[in-house]
Amino acid sequence: MPMSDSPTLSPLDQIAEAPADHYRVLKISDLDGDRLLELSRFMKLSLSREDMLAVQEIYREWEREPTDVELEVIAQTWSEHCKHRIFGATITHEIDGATETVDSLFKTYIRDVSQRIFDKKPGFVLSAFHDNAGFIALDENLAICLKAETHNHPSAIEPYAGANTGLGGVIRDILGAGKGAKPIGSLDVFCFGAPDTAMDHIKAEDVIHPLGVMRGVVRGVRDYGNRMGIPTISGAIQFDDAYIYNPLVFCGTAGVIPIQDIDKKIEAGMKVIAVGGRTGRDGLHGATFSSAALDTDSHESDQQAVQIGNPIEEKKAADFVLAARDKGLIGFITDCGAGGFSSAAGEMLEECGGTIDLDQVKLKEPGLVSWEVFISESQERMVLAVDESALPELRKLADLYETELTELGSADGSGILKVTHHGRTVCQLDCTKLHDAPVRTLSSRWEKKTAAVDAPVLTHAGAALRDLFTDFAIVSREPIIREYDHEVQGNTVLKPLAGASGDAPQDAAVLRISGSERLMSMSVAILPEWGKTDPYAMGAACVDECVRQLVASGADPDRLAILDNFCVGNPEDEEELGALVETVKGIAAAAEAYGAPFVSGKDSFYNYFETEDGPVSIPVTILISGMGIVEEAAHVIGASLRREDSLLAIIGRTGAALGGSVFARRHDLGNAEVPATSFDEAFQCYRQYYEAVKQGLILSAHDVGEGGLAVTLAEAAFSGKAGLEIDLCSLPMDDDASKAAMLFGESPSRLVIEVAPENLEKVAKLFDGLPFAALGRATSRHANLVVDWGEETLINESLTDLKSLWKNGLAQYY
């Protein structure tokens, strides 16, 4: 056999200057766009042709070739995951035929909107967008923060480990916020396929059945949160076929910090140290992996990008960090998340510059090459900058809490990020250049998808109500909630399940904050069904629902802050991007009207799956999570009926639109109009409600959400305290609202409140000129939900039966 001239070389070997070593210099200056793209794919950099050409240009200016470490660093920093380039893109957006240009969704609709609110409320938001999490002032001494992240791709491939490290990661975000915030509560929001999905309904190999995904994800969250000792207090689950291939896993954590510890800075001469777990080959390319679509091969080849969490390692690091912060030993801190040391050190040294010595890094296994050490996303690691004089005491603390402390390098004021390994410089980058990614240009379009659809004639409203209580959107999440320790730290005043029976659903959770008289309320809102036909309405309603839940639980409507977490399919698809643009506009309009600024946010793209029949995308999904300040414990209001002699009233107007509702989905109403949100009227109502709370006039309040008014009333009565007798005759509503809309429509901005008979008049007076009406009363004469329309009885159902449907709907699957 004839010998070939040379063995087949990988794209890397072909351009490497020297044989494989712990790092390589790559000759890219002469490559054309195709070859550059090939290189990007081979190295799994997830950089586009334009990005690679920009990199090439930078190196041409510098008159040298990059090392593989440098390319990896640039790929990490420019990845969608780290840089949110679609939110920074210039988008030509076509809406119902008209064209507009959006110069960065982030700047236009998130940052600028929030900045205007900050200016109106001086001293309230203490930090936003630049740190790991945004802070708001709780009182004169303490601040609270909240951060939410997604971990979708890892959870699709390895549900337990993906969700496990998803929560672990966001907890580290809090530990790395300011000079280290104490994590005090977590939220988790999931989107799955339905648990009863038929196996042959799944059209791709190796996709994990939704039931397997759900069980794995819940256990992953459970085992991290419970071991860390952070109560998981808030959450939601959406079930929809669209999430079978791309389940969504949002994890969020709240923290508390002394205000004086929010500002952190790094100065030349400070030492850079790592604390916590060791570095290994696990989690390579997590950031770039999450910036690409999934396919069947992902289930095999990308396993390396998913890791196993070790919460005890993180708990030890957390104990160390909080002790070090209290002793004033921390100058700067951040977590090792996506991009590992390269991101953490990059963030830390981007202005100051400094040297990192990879020989100092403690490894899980020998033989890692330079780029692997530098970008590995091994879990449970924090990076700190500290004064050299603090090192001895920090070492003592590390010994005390049994965590490993490693000196990595130092800051030098040069503005250059320099990385050495085995005595050679493997990376030397001007940090300012490092953070300039090319601005993308994209096009999007959206056309109105809703139409007037006649509401179905309700022949048996009671049966329709029972039917809703079997829907996965509505059934009790109790089996899952009880797997999470939601009371550790001993501060969960309003628990996710409460009321006289201890198992009734609540709208928000409220935490006592040690060291303050004030409390923190936390809630989430997610309505993907709305966005399928009206993304703007979805965005607006999500902000409204989140705000309303916070206010319902007793938070001051003028002291709320929210987060936006987006999940999108393919941003190169004009319609999907168009839905995103409309959603962003919706949340921005609502946030501005309510004066609830965004203080942090995150986006996840490429949530689509390549099947043989073409890509399957998720609907544009927005999670709004929020935090609010409750002035005192006496203001905390639960969502469950408390007395058998009380009166019920409704705040807010009921519209005719049924679109987006669970009822509409179950009755195939397709593209029915989705309710719009009237911000000004709604916010006036919330302020008046808060007045009533402060005057002690509210016994309980439940937001009208999925399932509409009838479901809300029944849920309130699941406390088992009393039956309900309701008459809808005086319900504030639009003239064209059908009975279906009155009972099951999901018009936003509505609250059902319970008041003592002697207080009804006082409360009604507060709502003078606003949509408000007495609806009926609690009763001890029976345990039914009775809803009349004048002489006609629409619903007369046993609450015990409804509750049993509600409690057992998910229990059989989890």
Partner 1 sequence: MEERPCAVLLKFPGTNCDAETARALEEVGFVTETLPVSALTPEKLVGVALVVLSGGFSYGDYVMSGRIASLVTEQKIGATLGEFRDNGGFILGICNGFQILTQLGLLPPGSLVENASGRFQCQWVRLKNLAPTNPYLAHLPEEFEFPIAHAEGRFVTKEAAEAAAYVENGAAALTYLDEVNGSFADIAGLQDESGRVFGLMPHPERFLHRRDHYDPDWKGAGDDESRGAGYYFFRSLHQSISQSN
| Footprint of partner 1 (CB under 8 A) | 222, 226-229, 310-312, 315-316, 319, 399-402, 481-493, 495, 497-500, 502, 514, 633, 636, 638, 642, 700
Tell me how far CA of residue 407 lies from CA of 150, 315, 359, in angstroms.
31, 20, 10
Residues 6+ apart with CB under 8 A from 672: 450, 451, 452, 453, 657, 658, 659, 664
- Name the pairing type of β-strands 232-239 and 182-192: parallel
3 state DSSP class of 408: strand
760: which 2 tokens? 């009804």
**Closest distance of CB 503 from partner 1, Å:** 9
* Tokens linked to 130: 């630049």
Q: Decide whether 270 or 511 has the Cβ nearer to partner 1.
A: 511
Residue whose CB is less far from partner 1, 115 or 489 = 489
DSSP class of 629: E
Measured from the CB atom, the residue of 114 and 700 that comes closer to partner 1 is 700
Q: How far is the CB of 545 from partner 1 (least distance, A)?
A: 23
Closer residue to partner 1 in complex, CB, 488/774: 488
Least separation, in Å, of the C-beta of 312 and partner 1?
A: 4
Strands 125-127 and 134-137, bridge-based pairing: antiparallel
Which residue, 400 or 439, is less far from partner 1 as judged by CB? 400
Q: CA nearest 187: which of 515, 547, 607, 563?
A: 563
In the sheet that holds 332-335, the strands lie side by side as 332-335, 381-386, 271-276, 404-411, 354-357, 416-421, 424-430
Q: Which residues of 713-730 are buried (b: 16+ CB within 10 A; e: fewer)?
A: bbbbbbbbbbbbbbbbee
Give 10 or 514: the residue with its C-beta nearer to partner 1.
Answer: 514
Integer-rounded Cα radius of gyration of the chain? 27
Distance in Å, CB of 484 to partner 1, minimum: 6
Q: Are strands 354-357 and 416-421 parallel, antiparallel or unpaired?
A: parallel
Nearer to partner 1, 147 or 315 (CB): 315
> Which H helix or E strand runs over 794?
strand 792-798
Q: Which is nearer to partner 1, 700 or 749 (CB)?
A: 700
Closest CB 500 distance from partner 1, rounded Å = 5
We find the least distance from the C-beta atom of residue 553 to partner 1, in angstroms, to be: 12
C-alpha angle 341/344/348, rounded to 5°? 130
* Least Å from the CB of residue 485 to partner 1: 4
37 vs 144, beta carbon nearer partner 1? 144
Q: Which is nearer to partner 1, 494 or 620 (CB)?
A: 494
Cα separation of 29 and 36, whole Å?
10
Report the C-alpha gap between 69 and 88 in whole angstroms: 26
With the CA atoms of 488, 492, 497 and 500 taken in that order, what torsion angle do they form, in degrees rounded to the nearest 10? Answer: 120
* Minimum CB–partner distance for residue 548 and partner 1 (Å): 20
d(CA 289, CA 415): 29
207 vs 324 by CB, closer to partner 1:
324
Residue 785: its H or E element = strand 784-789
Task: Provide the minimum distance between the beta carbon of 490 and partner 1 in the complex, in angstroms, as a whole number.
Answer: 4
E strand residue ranges, 225-280: 232-239, 248-258, 271-276
Closest CA to 607 of 237, 292, 191: 292
Helix or strand holding residue 346 (H, E): helix 340-349
Which CB, 313 or 725, lies closer to partner 1?
A: 313
CB of 479 to partner 1, least distance (A): 8
Q: How far is the CB of 394 from partner 1 (least distance, A)?
A: 15
In whole angstroms, the minimum distance from the beta carbon of 701 to partner 1 comes to: 12
**Residue partners of 261: CB distance under 8 A and separation at least 6:** 178, 179, 180, 325
